[in-house]
A and B are shown apart, each in its own frame.
Chain A
Amino acid sequence: MTASHTTGGRRLIDLVPHIVLIVGVLIFAFPIYVTLIGSTWDSATIGRGNLPLIPGGEAFNNYSQAWSESHGARASYTPVRVMVLNSLVMALAIALGKIAISILSAYAVAFFRFPFRMAFFWMIFITLMLPVEVRIIPTYKVVADLGLIDSYAGLTIPLIASATATLLFRQFFLTIPDELVEAARIDGAGAVRFFLDVVLPLSKTNIAALFVILFIYGWNQYLWPLLITNSADMETIVIGITKMIGTGEAANDWNLIMATTVLAMLPPVAVVVFMQRWFVKGLVDSEK
């Protein structure tokens, strides 16, 4: 009797972690669920504020309208396909650009001795302390003076210098044994060949991991595209959503906004879910 009572109590205590975790998962899933559901109803239903908890029948209309048309019932917008393309270009250019220039400069710093090496290293290092937000106005001016407002170049190039990625690659390069370099030199490989034949293949995992976090970083940019893009053709999807919402009045094309939001979340979430292993590695390693 006493024994079975204890096991019963045990079981209840064992359930506590599950309950807490499930509540946690629900808190994170609920807003997404509401948005997903909302994107399948018409705007009037949403606007009245009593959105059902089951999907409606407007999904196809909402998504196709948001995807390709430049206006809803109440206002005109940039079509999602344009904004997704802009976001994609921005995310890919930032991720690939950062990886490319970081791996090259890390290679220079790790494998060569040359005058002012440490000066260059510190110059790159300092950028850690200068996030775009703190030098936003003067950087904007530079981009404006260069005539890069409303261009992909202006949107991406100022963001591709990255101390974090350079430090990560340098750290990894320092783990490549000296003997491997020597073996390659004796085999007749110079600096360029060694980079292409040995360093690059060995860096594959690091590159994949960095790509995941940098893609998300690029896709999620907000303040910078807000400043640099004026024309509707250049709008990124994250900015597009907040422009569609405006002041958040009831009389909005909520159905389109919600469909757009879902489409804005999809690529980065997919990258995280499908590349989870690399993503976690990239995140944890780059902060070491």
Chain B
Amino acid sequence: MATVDIRNVRKSYGPVEAIKGIDVAVQDGEFLVLLGPSGCGKSTLLRMVAGLEGITGGEIAIGGRVVNGLDPKDRDIAMVFQNYALYPHMSVFDNMAYGLKIRGIPKPEIQSRVAKAAEILELGRFLDRRPSQLSGGQRQRVAMGRAIVREPSAFLFDEPLSNLDAKLRTQMRVEIKRLQDRLGITSLYVTHDQVEAMTLADRILVMNHGVAEQIGTPLEVYQRPASLFVAGFIGSPPMNVLDGRIDPAGAAIAMPGGAVLPLAAPRAADAGRAVKLGIRPEHLALTAADAPGASSIQVELVEALGADTVVYGRLPDGESLVVRMAGLPACREGDRLTVAPQPGALHLFDADGGRRLAEA
């Protein structure tokens, strides 16, 4: 059990800066998900915690001990890899026991630790098998077993579910969550899958281009995205982003198409300012043509998903707008709909930097 402190950590490859100063303090027992598109530096950050990548600047401390100069084996961490990284020539038992053997742990204890992990992961029947004789999900469990038996201070997961099919992924996600709840070990988990992030994380660190865009609970990240990037990355289908300008009174936003959306709270300070306006598809609803903030859209495509329906439409000025509605509303391509955002569901971002505007 331990905290993981990442203090102003940087990583450069020659002149290229891959991680540009990340600060996050992971609490004891916390599940932190590093989320971002490929190439954003999330895996690099995790591998720096593991000791598999050197640290160019800053400090990483595990359990209060700075580990910058330590080998992976001396950091008291365990890691689960995307492609499992099981030793193909060893049995499941030996795969789990290998790290313990190297550490010189006595045989009876290895036996009991592996047995316990196998029981938790329901791998008891497979201990004599080779990895090649197991299914993808079973291999993933062995990889986790190898981490568990070590009883480390922290678990590091590097996209552990990416190689599984959709159904198994959901199942394993639930298992990982249960396991972490049960063992209560501090975990860092890298993924590009927002559903994994939302369901597993105590907190999410959203990364982009080597920068932490936002650190917060899943709900915070969803409800108050700190930047256009976060807003676009979390939520499916992604948030609609439109150009707008706050009217001179600071009470509403004028859209290029002519619609005027009233603000929940007036922003006199920002009067006349150009902004990016974000509205989640699920926060748009059908409304009467004369309702405040109503816009008319021409329907271009309807995706009926059963539980809800996603409508792709176009505003009069040609901008596209996606609306997600519950159930199966009766609309077809070519229809005209009038929609308006729910009260308080507008996200305002700086038109230049894309940062969220401070609440009024």
Contacts and interface: CB of A to CB of B under 8 A. Distances in A.
State whether these chains interact. Answer: yes
A177 B85 contact: yes
Contact of A189 (B79, B88, B102): B102
Contacts of A202: 88-89
Interface stretch (B70-78, B211-219, B229-237, B284-292): B70-78
A29 to B, nearest CB: 40
A190 to B, nearest CB: 8
Nearest to A185: B72
A62 B238 CA distance: 89
Contact of B79 (A177, A186, A198): A186
Given A177-B83, A179-B85, A186 B72 contact: yes
Nearest to B80: A183
A188 B79 contact: no
A71 B52 CA distance: 68
Nearest to B152: A186
B103 interface: yes
A117 interface: no
B50 A186 contact: yes
B71 A185 contact: yes
Contacts of B85: 177, 179-180, 182-183
Given A179-B85, A183-B81, A188 B52 contact: no
B126 interface: no
Interface in A160-207: 177, 179-180, 182-189, 193, 197-198, 201-202
A201 B77 CA distance: 26
Interface residues of A, number: 16
B215 to A, nearest CB: 26
A184 B87 CA distance: 9
Interface in B237-265: none
Interface in A229-261: none
B94 to A, nearest CB: 10
Contacts of B78: 186
Contact of A188 (B84, B99, B146): B99
Nearest to A189: B102
A188 B71 CA distance: 9
Contacts of A193: 102
A193 B51 CA distance: 19
Pairs of residues from A and B, 7 with the lowest C-beta to C-beta distance, nearest first:
A187-B99, A179-B85, A188-B73, A183-B85, A188-B102, A179-B81, A201-B89
Interface of A: 177, 179-180, 182-189, 193, 197-198, 201-202
13 contacts: A180-B85, A182-B52, A183-B146, A184-B87, A184-B98, A185-B52, A185-B71, A186-B73, A186-B99, A187-B146, A188-B102, A198-B87, A202-B88
